[in-house]
Amino acid sequence: MEYIIYICTALAALESVMFAGFRIGFVFIDHNTKPFFSRLLWAVCIINAVGLFALSQRYLSGKVNGLKGLAFTAVAITAMFLVICSVFIIRDGKKELKNFALTAAPPAPFFAVCYAALYFGLLNPLVSEAARLSAFAIAAASLAAVFLLRLLPVIPLKFSSPPAVFDFGEYYSVAFASNIKSVGYLKIMTDGREHIIYDSFAGRKRISRLHSVKVPKEILSGEYTTGINRAVEYLAYGGILGKKAKEFTVRGFSSEIKEPDRLKLCVLTDWHNLYKQAKMCAGEDCDAFVFLGDFSQGVYSEGVVIKMLLAPAAGFTKGNKPLLFVRGNHDFRGPAAEYVLEIAKTEHISFRTVLGGYEFFVVDSGEDKPDDNYEYAGYNDFSRFRSEEAEYLKSIEPDGSMRTVLLSHSKDLLESGDWPKRAYEAIRGKRFLLHLYGHNHACRIGRYENGQLDIPEQPFPCVCCGGASDGVFTYANITLDGENVSVKWKEAATGSVVKAAEIDANGSIKTL
C-alpha cells in the first residue's frame, strides 16, 4: 500500500493541473446541473492531492495506524480522476487537446510551486517536523486561496468609480469602473422603453474593470443607470457570469444650457498626483467641465486610469454634467495608455462639439518632443499620428455662426517638427474667441504667440488654466458671455480665488 500511496500522490498532483483544462468539457453538465459542478470536482481533486502528500509523509515516518480507510478513499478518488482525464484525452484529444492545455496553463506554475513546497517540506527527511508542518500549512492555504479567489465569488463586487459622462463630439461615452473583472452596461429609458447597452467590442461583452459605453447624445438625458456584473471565469467553452448585478443610478443629467450665449465652465488641467484635490471641485456651479490632460505622470495600469482619471472625473461631475477631455502628453506614456482610448471609444480624440452657443474645437496634439527623443526609447510614432490627425481635423466642418473655443493641452500645440503648421492649416478660418490650455502648470492669460506659425488674422487670447504646483492644485472658472470672457483661478483645497482676469468684446485683457 505504501508504494501505491506514493504513486497516487504524483498522479493526483498531475490530475489537478490537467483537470484545470478538462473543466471546459463540463460546460454542458454545468449548464444542466449546477454552474459550479465542475469547480467542485476540481476542488475535490486538489484536496485529494494535498491529502495524499500528508498520507505519504505518514507512510514515510511509519505512523499509519488508523489511516487505512483514508488511504483507500484517496486511492479511489485518484483512480476516478484518472479515468475522467483518460476519457477526455481519448475522446477529445485530437480536437481539443490544445484548448485543454491553454486553459490549464495559467494556474499550472502556481500548482507546481505549491506541490514542490509540499514535496520538499513534507517528504524531505532532512527537514524538521516543525518545518514540514509549516510547509504543509502554507502550501495548502495558498492552494485554497487561489481556488477561492479565481473561481468563487469571494471578493464583494462594487463600483470603484461611479460614472462620468465624457463628451466626444458626436456622442457621449459613459465611463465607470468595478473593483474586479466584470461585464458593464448602461440602462436608459427612451420612448417609454428601457434599453440596455453593453460595453462590448465586435459583438462580445468586454471583461474588464474599466467600462465605457458609447451612446448617442440625443438619447442620454435625465436619469440613467450603470451596471456591473461579476465575470467569475470566462473560458473557450462556458464560464461563469454573476447572477446579481450592482447598479448605480444618476438622476438629473443634462447638457442643456439655459442661456446659450452665457456659458459657465469649470476647467481643470495637469492634476497629476493631486487627483484627490481635483475631486474638491464638485461643488462648482457650471454648465460643463473641461479637463485638459495630464492626470498622472505615466499610465502604468488600468487601475491608474480608474483611480487618477475616472474617479476624480466622476467625483467633480457627479455624473450629471458633461466633461470635455483633451489628452495630455503624459497621458500617452506608460504600458497601459491604451485604456485612455478605451474611454474615448475611438483612435481620434480630436473633435468638434457644441455647448450652448459655442463651438469647441479639441486638438489632440500628442507628445511634447520629437519621436526620436531618448525619453521614448523608440516606441513613439507621433509623426504619422499627427499627419492623420491633421487630415481628420480638416474633415470636421465648422459652424460659422458660432463663436469657437480652441482646446488643447499645450498652448503651442506642442512644437515638434512641422505639426503646429499642419494643425493650424487644419483649423484655419475658424472664428476663435479663446484658446484654453494647460501643460505649463500656471495661472496665466495672454496672446497666442508662436514663431513657427504665420497667423496674420490673429493672435487670439489664450488662458493657461492652472495645474499642480508645489502640492497645490489650481483650476479655472471661466464664463463666456457673448464676446466677453471672465476667468477666475482658484485653489481646489480652499476654494479661494488666487487670480482673476477679463477679456472684453474688443479682445482687451484686464487682470483684476
Please give the Cα distance from 253 to 167 (Å, whole number).
13
The Cβ-side half-sphere exposure at 388, using a 13 Å CA radius, reads 10
Task: Identify which of 267, 248, 252 has the alpha carbon closest to the alpha carbon of residue 320.
Answer: 252
CA distance 349 to 370: 20
Residue 404 and residue 432 in contact, taking contact as beta carbons nearer than 8 Å: yes
Domains along the chain?
Answer: 2-151 (no CATH), 156-253 (2.60.40), 261-511 (3.60.21.10)
**Per-residue pLDDT of the chain in tens (512 residues, 90 and over written 9):** 778 888 898 999 898 888 888 777 777 677 666 667 777 888 888 889 888 888 887 777 777 777 788 888 999 999 998 998 888 888 776 677 787 888 888 888 888 888 887 777 666 666 676 776 777 777 777 777 776 666 666 788 999 999 999 999 989 999 999 999 999 999 998 888 899 999 999 899 999 999 999 999 999 999 999 999 999 878 777 777 888 899 999 998 988 888 989 999 999 999 998 989 998 887 788 999 999 999 999 999 999 999 999 999 999 999 999 999 999 989 988 899 889 989 988 777 788 899 999 999 888 877 878 888 888 888 888 878 877 777 777 777 767 778 889 898 887 654 445 555 566 666 666 667 888 999 999 999 987 654 444 444 456 788 999 999 999 999 999 999 999 999 999 999 999 999 999 999 888 899 88
Strands (E), 88-221: 159-167, 171-190, 193-198, 200-201, 204-205, 208-216
Provide the grid cell at 381.
510614432
**Within a 10 A sphere around the Cβ of 346, how many other Cβ atoms?**
16
Do 455 and 465 meet the contact criterion of CB atoms below 8 Å apart?
A: no
Which residues contact residue 173 at a Cβ distance below 8 angstroms, ignoring those fewer than 6 apart? 165, 166, 212, 213, 214, 215, 343, 344, 345
Residue 386 contacts by C-beta under 8 Å, 6 or more apart in sequence?
Answer: 365, 366, 416, 417, 419, 422, 423
Three-state secondary-structure class, residue 82: helix
Give the predicted TM-score (pTM) of the model.
0.85
